Structure 1
Amino acid sequence: MDPEKGSTEERPHKAELQDSGLEPGDKWIHGLQLVNIMAALTLVCFLVLLDASIIVTALPRITNDFHSLADIGWYGAAYQLSSACFQPITGKIYALSTPKWVFLTFFTIFEIGSLVCALATSSNMLIGGRVVAGVGMAGLLNGILVIIAECAPLQKRPIEKSLLQFGHTLTTCLFGQLGLVGGPLIGGLFTQFVTWRWCFYINLPIGGLVAAMLVFVPVPQQHSRPSARSIFHGFLSHFDLLGFTIVAGASTMLLLALQLGGSTFSWESSQIIGLFCGAGVAIIVFALWIVRKGDAAIFPFSMVRKTVVWISCVVYGLFAGHLYTESYWVPVYFQGVRGASPALSGVYILPMIVAHILCALSSGPLLKRVGYWIPISLFGAVMIAVGSGLVSTFSPTTSTGKWIGYQIILGVGRGIGLQMPLIAVQHSVAPAQIPVAMAFVMFGQSFGAAVCLGLAETIYSNSFRTLIPKYSPGVDVQSVVEAGATGFRAIVPQTSLAGVLDADSKSIDRFFYLVAGLGVGIFAFSWGLGWKNLKKK
């Protein structure tokens, strides 16, 4: 490389570092600047994950307002699907551009999507807002991990400082997860005492605070990025837009098939068969494409072929599928089957929330003591499978002790194991590949959540329509479905209500068989996360 050219490209960044008081060769930051950046990233992580779950206790009220019970799965799946589609390209963007400004751009998109949701006047408008917010989320989750890695790189530090960087990652993710696990409670309070629209308005003032915290603070870069001119001239080759189009198309077709099958169209219809075939062909074409493109592909072949990387993507996707599915549907059980208010349904899932937080906080010290992430992930998988199997026995008369105990088991499983795939990837790739590797793993998270939410909605809808005539003959099925997740209580005669509640409960139980299967999948794949001893680093 031409020395003068290289120095010219890096000069703005060096000047930024000098202005911030960093010494040459000391590219990671510390002190108040580090605290400021980590606090801002933690707030963003909190908001993004809050946005993913705050809506769950508001869903019954939303379906009542818009008469859209059939869309209940789309409110979560649209958010995850758009994130999954754009997740692959975000890694390339971060690897080639200045992380801070890319991060703030995605954050602006996320805020716009939140505003659209808050102002929604129809179910379709709400779904559209969720799609926009999901695009923003695609860049934010990956950006959080990239910026942490840029501020305190693992590969340049001995074990003590490596664990310190791990602590930054874990702390940000753990406090961010307070949004994910506490979202249902916050959403329930907003829905009952203000309006469900505040589930989205809340993102706006906090977003302004985050922007103020980051705009004027320099974020170091551990490797040089190409100039804007070279990116512009090689735009197509840099970003692999064809690969992005293929993976986005495959993801969309697969989710549409799962979401529409058995409800809008029969499983044997040409539309559903065509979507499944199209998704299958697109996946095959994408696999051949990344092999042909090699490291120029949207997911570099040399990285994807690493066992730890692709298995981490699968494991994280299974964890996310479990997390989002039970977070969405346990509150629906309490409101629809048990008749709880939105706020009270948030209170009823506190056992799962508290267990999740406590185990997530203990996962860092536990990993430091054990030295390996595989045993922790395996334990989490077992707890998820057992807990989900127990939750699948929920009925209208399940005792308080049982639904509290079963939720604690679920919370322990997801809290203790959720971060292990991320830690495995960060210790397995070169610094320059971290943005793309994180994008790949985050793609697994969003895609897994979208697919599982779509499957859960399909299982629930088909089962509910089938079981209502069995348990409450004479009740108009279509009227019950259109009334909403809790609105049917107002239109079903008291003499038939018990049967409808049984049908509702058993329909929810059925997709928890799927969630139990996710735990089994996590257990099977976790063995491939790599036996790397952190104590010997």
Structure 2
Amino acid sequence: MTYMAAASTPPVLSQRRKIVVYLAVLAGMFMASLDMQIIATALPTITEALGDLELFGWVGAGYLLVTAAVTPFYGKLGDLFGRKRVFMVAIALFTLGSLACGMAWSMQSLIAARVLQGLGGGGLMTSAFAIIADLFEPRERAKYQGFSSAVFTLSGLIGPVAGGFIAQSFGWEYIFLINLPVGILVIAVLAFAMPSFSPKRSHSIDYLGGLLLAGSVTALVFWAEEALGGSYSGPLIFILPIVVIAALTAFVMVERRAAEPILPLGILKNRQIALTLVMSILMGVATLGMLNYFALAMQMITGLPPAMAGLLFLPSSVGSLLAAIVSGNITARTGRYKIFPVIGMALGVAALYAFSFINAETPYWAIGILMFCFSICMGLQMQTLMVAVQSSAPKADVGAATGALTLSRMIGASLGLAANGGLLHGALQRAQNALPADVVAQLPAPLPDLTPKAVQELPPELGARMVEAFAAAFSNVLYFGAGLFAVGFLLALLLKDVRLPVQNKKTEENGAAMPAVAE
């Protein structure tokens, strides 16, 4: 069947075609999700090969920062020009970025390549969830977005183990190059499976608003790195907050006058959406922004090699999958979702506080149980918050609202990498300052720059002392995350206990926002 690009209504899809499109979109999500997971356990190996441990956090933060900057554009571009072409551009950029990462020769060049990767990654998640919103009505959507978590679970199962194994056995470059065949396959499948559709709307792009928003986010992340990294006397600590406030003020003024605002300010007046966006920022800091440091902590504290440390992430993948699927199906059946973020936030407080007691003697099974509990709190709230935003936004702004939520998560993740890295680095620096001079003289590098491999090569007594210092410093990151979950819990209590509408029989037969016709 041939679809007209300038149709005034979305193309109608049969249920079978909707499932094919859905699976193709999941493949694109898998590519981006796998990249976030597979790099975590390989980062210490990459650092050993390329050096510049102080730039460790920016391998992830650079990617997430650019992702956050371009996410609003992708959401609005999908609303204006259609999801397919925007999604295809995102996949192509992400694949090219993966090739550049595999060819990096220094930590700086790797970070630059990750920036290119982020230009595409910002569109994969936003466009994917917007397409799912087009395909399915609210209650049905909750079920399918719950199933979408299987993608994150599969990448979670494969990623940490594969990242460590590939880095050890073949070289760290291949954790990026593995994206190439996946990306090419996704592009080929979507080219044939997904219909093209461009809504008849004004194609005015709010470039100025997007740049101002990106500038404010960038300044905020750099401020977090400067403030929490211990450089309290630097001028940036005072300049960057002014830049953030000025950019956000100008952004609001631009959005009020824009014909097609990159972020319609009207959706922020919706209490449900506003609360959800704030909660997503907090959870981005406490979960996504902590992923790389969890991997580093597991290797440093347990002494396990990257591939074996990756096995400790397996329970978290299972817990996230179970929580997302169960909560999605219950939401689809009852139409209610508030209870899940409330439980998830409370469980997050308990899990991160319990993590602060881990040391070199902690049994692996106990770490596995804590990882399982922590992942349940993620599975209960991440997809549920997406349902809350999409069901509360006007139909014409679903893409922009989805982009706003994805942006909130990416802002949180970027802030988390900077803030958690700053907290850890500052605590390690203070721990080194408290050590006797003769002990510091025995270290091959300053305490904040020690890698897991370097610690294992130290004399046993000195190595154990460094592990203890690292565990104590990492507790600062865990307490910070637990506090954010506590704030998230209070915000979750303020959500309205709404009930999603039931899809009528006629709509159910014909399809949802992208209704369907026989092929």
TM-score (normalised: structure 2)? 0.89
State the partner residue of 1:351: 315
2:361 pairs with one of 389, 397, 414: 397
| Correspondence for 1:151 | 135
* Structure 1: gaps spanning 5 or more residues: 1-9, 15-23, 155-161, 232-237
SS at match of 1:510: helix
Report if the CA contact (8 A) 1:421-1:529 is conserved. Answer: no
Distance 1:27 1:211 in 2: 20
Instruction: Say yes or no: does 1:511 pair with 2:477.
Output: yes
Residue 427 of structure 1 aligns to a residue whose secondary structure is helix
1:225 maps to a residue whose letter is K
Matched, 1:189 2:173: no
State the secondary structure of the residue aligned to 1:500. helix
- Alpha-carbon distance between aligned partners in 2 of 1:400 and 1:186, rounded to the nearest angstrom: 19
**Does the 8 Å contact 2:303/2:456 carry over to 1?**
no
Give the conservation status (yes or no) of the 8 Å contact 1:185–1:346. Answer: yes
Matches for 1:298-337 after TM superposition, within 5 Å: 298-337=262-301
> In 1, are the aligned partners of 2:142 and 2:331 still within 8 Å (CA)?
no
Q: Is the 8 A contact 1:75 1:127 kept in 2?
A: yes
The one-letter code sitting in structure 1 at the alignment partner of 2:445 is: S
Tell me whether 1:73 sits opposite 2:57 in the alignment. Answer: yes
| Residues 1:525 and 2:483 aligned together | no
- Aligned 8 A contact 1:181 1:356 in 2: no
| 2:298 partner amino acid | F
1:457 aligns with 2:433: no
Report how far residue 12 of structure 1 moved: 4.2
For the pair 1:210 / 2:210, whether they are aligned, the reply is no
Which consecutive aligned stretches of 4+ in structure 1 deviate over 6 angstroms post-superposition? none
Once residues 272 and 376 of structure 2 are traced to their aligned partners in structure 1, the CA distance between those partners, rounded to angstroms, is: 24
1:121-520 alignment, distance < 5 Å: 121-152=105-136, 154=137, 162-180=138-156, 182-219=158-195, 221=197, 224-226=199-201, 231=203, 238-261=204-227, 263=229, 266-290=231-255, 292-293=256-257, 296-471=260-435, 473=437, 474-476=439-441, 479-481=445-447, 484-489=450-455, 492-520=458-486
CA distance in 2, matches of 1:275, 1:12: 44
Q: Provide the C-alpha distance between the structure 2 equivalents of 1:491 and 1:469, rounded to a whole number of angstroms.
A: 22
CA offsets per residue over residues 92-149 of structure 1, 9 Å max, x none? 2111113211110111111111111111110011111111111111111111122223
CA distance in 2: counterparts of 1:478 and 1:252, whole angstroms: 34
Q: Given residue 334 of structure 1, which amino acid in structure 2 is its aligned partner?
A: M
Check whether the contact 1:394–1:509 (CA below 8 A) recurs between aligned residues: no
**Mapped partners of 1:387, 1:298: distance in 2:** 37
Compute the TM-score of the two structures, normalised by the length of structure 1: 0.87
SS at match of 1:418: helix
Q: Pick closer, same or farther for the CA change 1:535–1:148 going to 2, 3 Å.
A: closer
CA contact (8 A) 2:297 2:474 kept: yes
Residue type at the aligned position of 2:233: E
Measured in 1, the distance between the counterparts of 2:502 and 2:294 equals 42
Percent identity, aligned pairs only?
Answer: 24
Aligned residues: 499
Q: 1:46 aligns with which of 18, 25, 30?
A: 30
Backbone CA RMSD of aligned residues: 2.5
Counterparts in 2 of 1:378 and 1:370: CA distance versus 1, 3 Å:
farther
Secondary structure of the residue that 1:299 maps to in structure 2? coil
- Contact 1:295–1:302 (8 Å) recurs in 2: no
Gaps (5+ residues) in structure 2? 504-519
What secondary structure, in the 3-state scheme, does the structure 1 residue paired with 2:440 have? coil
The answer to whether residue 57 in structure 2 is matched with residue 82 in structure 1 is no
CA distance in 1 between partners of 2:435 and 2:369 (Å): 29
